[in-house]
Structure 1
């Protein structure tokens, strides 16, 4: 069977009753008894539009292969030759039969199906038996006339593709700085850029405290992830320390760094009074150590 004719039948559907008419297609078949007696082996509707695509309803009165006593129904993408290479459409389709006695519709609604160049048709292989369809008490065929309908709901793709990579046996990377003339620094000291876990980082230090704090009370310390692309995130464990030869003061955090908040740390890392009282300034030099463990990276993925 060629790709243009490929189709798949299924029996997965939800049967329900509703009063609203089908949104996309209505077909009135007169002299239905002739239709069901194989005067024609199938009926193909005119094209109708749904979700920006053209569709057709194909009805097989004696089954898809003409060898059963049940109605088969297929939904087909029309004019598929005009679609781009690699096209794919996800849709939910529904077939309707008008109950002319109760003036409502029995609806057979399928599950979401993927249409593409390989499988261009989906449908119901044994939807309803001819005996049930022709039974006058059911109201489907009245005066030898029957009304069918169709709806197709296209699932529009606005998918976000991303890839989470967990770092196996993540190693901690340490960087150290000797910062001279601490008391004479300006409002901000910034380190050079350095690489950890395929990312570029900087340390940002406010020796007199971040601008939101009272001046000359705390040292503020932040780690900055530089030039992070949109939609990328990095999860890292960070240990920040101020040290002497004999002692250290440390704070640790774990954070998801992202484009909108690429720096993270402590506005009140340590008080300036403690820095002086605990001997963290030697000859007006501050010794800083940052330890970074990159645990996970999230990147935008085009395809999988």
Structure 2
């Protein structure tokens, strides 16, 4: 009886395993088929985009939305304002107004420019009079645009502008935004854009940048100019000592030695500074230098050397308070002070120049 029971259940169990195996295989095949179809479609889509690539204009809603900056502000439009006292008509355009020597027109679509992806949104554009280009396809005008919608409730203007300038030419005469504000938001009186029944107000700022008339060019040039100063009777110096005027990098300078030390280094170090002579720079000019200060070793050993990188502008003098210690100078074996002679040197490595136009 026991064996008969075992044989009876063996057939259903085997059948169950067969069904599970078929299901697993089918699912794997289905997954592979879906994946293959997805990859095929993706390749076809990418191939279509590559083969049919076209430049998208800045006013295209897919581009403009991602580049648009919006916000509420108190300031009114500074170029043109357009008040509408009816919403029976959904498309408006203003009379031409002049900016930068060109004629411009503001275009308003209360229910959106559906041809430019603006369905469900208020759309705003400006156009330029094509005759301003004198039929020259190569002439262009760049303009910054900022559009406004007045909010009576907030007593502010909703504004939208692009992060880039807009390029107008004989082929691209209209630019703007297809998706400025949802129509539902705009037409709901409680939001404040539509007031006194059906009144609303729009505006635009058109800024045509003019070419700059003044400019400057900053550059840095390398140099190997040196000035060497032999100071005799160094131990007898009691106050700051200045070298004769010398030229480095087209500018006039002095070396300043403070034998007793400057500031916190007084009584312990000799201080050394490079000083720019007067009338060597304009009142607003800054001169960058990289120089190396040295006290030459007269015993053919290593020189004492420090590098300075700084701007000469508000300050005319830069250097090192703790350039060389008294102990090193007093030690005759170190070779820095021989027969009471100290040899200081400054080498110019880099210096900046600024050219102003005009």
Q: TM-score, normalised by structure 2?
A: 0.53
- 1:260 paired with 2:314, answer yes
| Number of equivalent positions | 263
Q: Which has the higher helix share?
A: 2
Output aligned runs, 1:1-304, within 5 Å.
10-11=59-60, 12=64, 14=68, 23-24=76-77, 27-34=82-89, 36=91, 42-44=93-95, 58-60=105-107, 73-74=125-126, 92-96=145-149, 107=158, 109-111=160-162, 124-125=175-176, 127=178, 145-150=198-203, 152=205, 163-167=217-221, 170-210=222-262, 213-215=265-267, 217-226=268-277, 227-229=280-282, 230-278=284-332, 279-294=335-350, 296-297=351-352, 299=354, 301-302=356-357
Are the aligned partners of 1:90 and 1:113 in contact in 2 as well (CA < 8 Å)?
Answer: no
Q: Which structure 1 residue ranges, 5 or more long, are not aligned?
A: 1-7, 48-52, 63-67, 77-87
Answer yes or no: is the 8 Å Cα contact 2:261–2:271 preserved in 1.
yes
Cα distance in 2, alignment partners of residues 241 and 173 from structure 1 = 16
Q: Aligned-pair distance for 1:114?
A: 6.0
Query: Cα distance, 1:260 vs. partner?
Result: 1.8
Distance in 2 (alpha carbons) for counterparts of 1:250 and 1:244: 11
Contact kept, 8 Å, 1:22 with 1:151, in 2: the verdict is: no
* Aligned residues: CA RMSD: 5.2
Q: Please give the per-residue CA displacement for 1:116-172, whole angstroms capped at 9, x wherever unaligned.
A: 9x99xx96456369xx86999777889994513226498999xx96533132xx342
3-state SS in 1 of match to 2:238: coil
Q: Which residue of 2 aligns with 1:5?
A: none
Q: Deviations over 1:176-203 (max 9, x none)?
A: 2221122222301111222222222221
1:138 & 1:208 partners in 2: Cα distance? 82
Aligned-partner Cα distance in 2 for 1:149–1:22: 13
Q: TM-score, normalised by structure 1?
A: 0.61
Instruction: Give ranges in structure 2 of 5+ residues lacking alignment.
Output: 1-56, 110-114, 129-140
Provide the secondary structure at the position in 2 that maps to 1:273: helix
Tell which has more relative contact order, 1 or 2 (C-alpha 8 A, sep 6+). 1
Greater C-alpha Rg: 2
